[in-house]
Amino acid sequence: MKMISSAAAADRAGAMIDNAIRLTLGVAILALFLGITLTRPASAMNIQTIKSPGGIEAWLVEEHGVPLMALRYAFVGGNSQDPAGKDGVANFLTAMMDEGAGDLNSEEFQERMEDISMRMSYDDSKDALYGSMETLTVNRDKAVELLRLSVQKPRFDKDAIDRIRQQLLANITYSDKDPEKVAMKTWYAKAFEGHPYARPSNGTAATIADITHDDLAAFHKRTFAKDNLKIVAVGDITAAELGQMLDYVFGALPAKADLLAVEKTMPVNVGTQSVVEMNVPQSVAVFGLGAMLRKDPDFMAGFVVNHILGGGGFSAKLMEEVREKRGLAYSVYSYLQPFQHASILAGSVATKNESMAESLQIIRAELKKMADNGPSDADLKAAKDYLTGSYALRFDTNSKIATQLLGLLQDDFGPDYVETRNKQVEAITVEDAKRVAKRMLDSNGLIVTVVGKPVGLKAATPAPVSAPDRG
């Protein structure tokens, strides 16, 4: 056994403390810069559209006031690209992307990131794989090198795969005991039956157990390409510097992705109610309808109507009727969620088993009331004032700006959307809101999934109803 002198041990301990202090300070500084509020309003941002020497396009907002850069990027595809029988492979891949790359194994890769106080993460959705990076300018070259290795040369080592697999299996076990997660998973399976959106994005215990190195490598090869790539950079970097960085990080990827075709769809099993029994004192319900796609001319009016109905917190009608007036639930809400191939208006409520039937009855009544009458002048004005006034808060840090702009790129909007968005909200009239509420809200067509032991509720398939015209 190699002997270490007390002096050497002290030196090593001192070095470990120095490293810990340096790492703590670096992370604190990075967090501080990420949270710094920008001094100019969102409408004054100069959003540049740049093209690298190699032809990779991106949006850039230069902000040289703080030595930080935030990068957000997305590959069109997501977990709707999971092959048959491989549910969860996209999610598995995103968990593996910082677990070693190039010549660096997982531990070495993580240590390099810590040494330079770099943030890197990956995530998946139904329609895209997301990546992000934040770095201090002084460490940018080192951070970019790690990003390049991660994007181009992920290792998928067996020990890392086995470790991440156990984490994913543990998450699935936990999720299968969570009423809210079970309700949401069941709702999607019911609403999009026969479509890739119906599949569990995290996979199942059986599919995760069977995913191999080759599955991960094949999915990476099919989806990480230049033609399905969207990129936004915000912060302390010039257009010329960003162009060189884009070619270095993404330039070696395949020119074209090999994506499976995903059909446009609408929810099926309209007007049905499912009950999944779980021995818990409080039931959870997920309810929803089909809605208009993001580029539909009625989308913004639908967004405002939903804010009034269930998206506006304590001012929303659902919260007022279910919680404030009757005390049936702590929280009830709704949201408008556009996907690439479908769109939904969905919501959730959690309440004691004895109160779920009444809560759902009130929710249906509020949907019908809004569909029949639309919002009042006062409700519409309050919603528009809030939505226009709060919009700037989406752009008060570099990381928020990058995230918001990436969403606009994915939805195929131009940079001018940031300036025109509030004008679109302000232009919505009461007549617009009433028309769109009638189009969007059909209480008879609600798809409902309840998990728990709700008193007086059972699975039901009502008499067929005509589906509303939701575009």
Summarised one tens digit per residue, pLDDT across range 148-191 is 999 999 999 999 999 999 999 999 999 999 999 999 999 999 99
Rg (CA), the chain: 25
Both 134 and 231 in one domain: the answer is yes
Q: What is the pLDDT of residue 55?
A: 98
| Domain annotation covers residue 53 | yes
Strand partners, 62: 235
Q: What is the pLDDT of residue 90?
A: 98
Q: What is the pLDDT of residue 461?
A: 62
Q: Name the residue with tokens 């479908």.
A: 342
Token digits for 58? 């991106």
CA distance 393 to 428: 22
Q: What is the pLDDT of residue 10?
A: 36
Given a contact cutoff of 8 angstroms between Cβ atoms, the answer to whether 49 and 233 are in contact is no
The total of other beta-carbon atoms located within 10 Å of residue 57's CB is: 15
| Domain annotation covers residue 188 | yes
Both 295 and 246 in one domain: the answer is no
Both 191 and 134 in one domain: the answer is yes
| Domain annotation covers residue 445 | yes
Given a contact cutoff of 8 angstroms between Cβ atoms, the answer to whether 434 and 374 are in contact is yes
What is the CATH classification number for the domain harbouring 373?
Answer: 3.30.830.10
Q: 188 φ, ψ to 5°?
A: -65, -40
Supply the range of the domain harboring residue 344: 273-392+413-452
Both 62 and 137 in one domain: the answer is yes
Given a contact cutoff of 8 angstroms between Cβ atoms, the answer to whether 385 and 423 are in contact is no
| Domain annotation covers residue 259 | no
Q: What is the pLDDT of residue 16?
A: 34
Q: What is the pLDDT of residue 460?
A: 73
| Domain annotation covers residue 401 | no
| Domain annotation covers residue 407 | no
Token digits for 13? 């301990």
Both 197 and 309 in one domain: the answer is no
Both 365 and 447 in one domain: the answer is yes
Both 239 and 348 in one domain: the answer is no
Both 370 and 335 in one domain: the answer is yes
Q: What is the pLDDT of residue 162?
A: 98
Q: Strands 273-277 and 447-452: what pairing?
A: parallel
| Domain annotation covers residue 10 | no
Q: Could you give the angle at the alpha carbon of 469 between the alpha carbons of 468 and 471, nearest 5°?
A: 140
| Domain annotation covers residue 12 | no
Q: 15 φ, ψ to 5°?
A: -65, -40
Strand partners, 232: 59, 72
Total count of domains within the chain: 2
DSSP three-state, residue 194: coil
Q: Tell me, letter by letter, the H, E, C secondary structure of 77-143.
A: CHHHHCCCCCCCHHHHHHHHCCCCECCECHHHHHHHHHHCCCEEEEEECCCEEEEEEEEEHHHHHHH
Q: Is 10 exposed, middle or buried (0-12, 13-18, 19+ CB in 10 A)?
A: exposed
pLDDT < 70 regions, the chain: 1-44, 461-471
Both 130 and 209 in one domain: the answer is yes
Q: Name the residue with tokens 């943030």.
A: 119
| pTM for this entry | 0.88
Q: 135 φ, ψ to 5°?
A: -150, 150
CA distance 441 to 469: 10
